[in-house]
Amino acid sequence: MSAMEKAKAKAEQMIGKAVQKTAHVCGKKSTEAKGAALGLRGKARARKEKVKDAFEH
C-alpha cells in the first residue's frame, strides 16, 4: 500500500468518524449519515489497497 493512499484512507476514516460523532451530538441525522459514509469509503479504500498489494507480490 503506498504511503499516500494509506494516509488518504486513514484520513477519510478519521474525518468521517469526527463528522459522524459531531452530527450525532448536534442531532443532524443526514450529516451523521454522510460522516458514516465517508468513514466507510476510507475503509473500502484501505481494503482495495491491501488487495492490490497482495497481487503485486
pTM for the predicted model, two decimal places: 0.82
**Backbone dihedral region for residue 28 (phi beyond 0: left; psi -120 to 50: alpha; all else: beta):** beta
Per-residue model confidence as pLDDT tens digits over 5-54: 889 999 999 999 999 999 999 999 999 999 999 999 999 999 998 888 88
CB 2 within 8 A of CB 49: yes
**pLDDT interval class at 1 (50, 70, 90):** low
Name the DSSP class of 27.
T
